[in-house]
Structure 1
Amino acid sequence: MVKRLSLAEYSAKIPKPGKSDYYVVVLLFRGDETKEFPKLKRHSIIRRYWSKDFLEAVREAIAVKECGNLTVDGKPLPKQDVKVMYYLNPVDFLKLSYLVSTTFIQEKMNIVLASLRKGDLRKAESELLRGDVFSIAFSNVAKAVKKHVIMVDVDTKDKEFLSLLEGVPVRFVIETQHGYHLHVYIEDVKDNETLRKLYSLNEAFSKKDSFKRLFGEKLLDKWEERLIEVKGVNPLEYVPTDEYPVYELERRDVREFVEFRS
């Protein structure tokens, strides 16, 4: 059985944060790069919110987005170009603080030593005084996790490609504009064969020759690079909304969803 979940229902089923873990929700700019916002890239994070309570962080982010007061260089950002997303796995802030401190010290020492070698004492001094610790913290957010969930990004709604993932224990599916995000929970993976299948699929959609070796001529004419991709350590995911609905798969099998969509 496939069931569409509300945001509240979904939030009750996602991994619970540990003692030093927090949910991290972000407002992400997903518009095209334009002259109007030259400082923003297509996937720029505008704001971050963290809480032990997933819904609390989400509601705060949504409220800020909906108030329409987000600006860059005094210019308002179009609401439709700002997405509410979250890191798929809770972030361990204790681990994050360790990563930040070691990275911060190492980066500072590298820059200072390079400046001293050049005899640039003024630059060495200014680097020691410059406190850019927050930028280092935010760049390490994705690494400070205990991995509970793997995301498989399927950038097509073609059922033939979805069927290639049959047998993989998928717990949730979030529907995107062009395809689906499949959530595979580590605790549902019973053997290494499942992981091998996932990563061989990842390889098959990085090189056409690899796809051909794995599947022969089947679907070769529809092949596109990264059509199916196993995402990295802790990817950003859409917060479920009417625009990005989330479904729970009772039997934990993609076949359920393929049949549901048929």
Structure 2
Amino acid sequence: MYILTIIANALIIMVVKSTTALHNPMYMFIASLSLLEICYVTVTTPNMLSIFLVKYKRISFEGCMAQLYMFFSLGSSECILLTAMAGDRYLAICHPLRYSSLMTTRACLHLVILSFLSGFIASILTITFIARLPYCGSNRINHFFCDYPALVTLACTESSTKEKMFFTLPWSVVLICFFLIMASYICIIFTIKVSKSYQRKAFSTCLSHLTVVLIFYGSVIFIYVRPKVNYDLNKDKVVSLVYSVVTPLLNPMIYSLRNKEFQKAGLNFVLGK
């Protein structure tokens, strides 16, 4: 599955790069998301595979914090990038006459870079809090990789402190981005109702993105945005596989299966035309 994920996302990037007709903001965002997914899945999946092969897998505290930082940074970057993609669709459908002047290639590139930088900067505070927590007792992490909820349960702090951290830190990036995306789609829906000429175009360009958003945010919100510390880690381990393994594999399929323009470009790329 890991190799298939890498190949699928790499194919998306190569098709977009090699096809002049796809050199527009929408496909640049999709290619950037594929690059992000390759990095995202590489942080966790190889380690998970080694856990299945080795009975007792060891990882240093520094290594665990490094993995968590990369995982958080890339996850936050994906949240922000998906928000930027929703903004792109909002401009294209709600303000089509101004779209080409506002969403230029340069503006798209700046948004992609900003998404990556913001994700890595925003995660510093969270990792600093987690790294400074006092850990005692068991040093076994009940998870496939170093993830935030599993680590916080090992900390020897008061329940109220854990509750406050668990409830406030993940909200800042996840829910703000989610609400911005939903606000964009509410505006898009109203535009579709007013002007039926945009209806088919709106569904063809937005449905794939909305599907990715619901799958990714559904699992992320379930894990991180819950004001409870005493949760079932075994259930969370299974749900975490959705956003850490399944979503990076599904994204290329979701964006390509419903997009005839991309399918044609992909076929030409494979045939060498």
Normalized per residue, the structure richer in strand is 1
TM > 0.5 fold call: no
Q: Which structure features the higher share of helix residues?
A: 2
Q: State which structure, 1 or 2, has the greater radius of gyration over its C-alpha atoms.
A: 1
TM-score (norm 2): 0.25
* TM-score, structure 1 as length reference: 0.26
Higher relative contact order (CA 8 A, sep 6+): 2
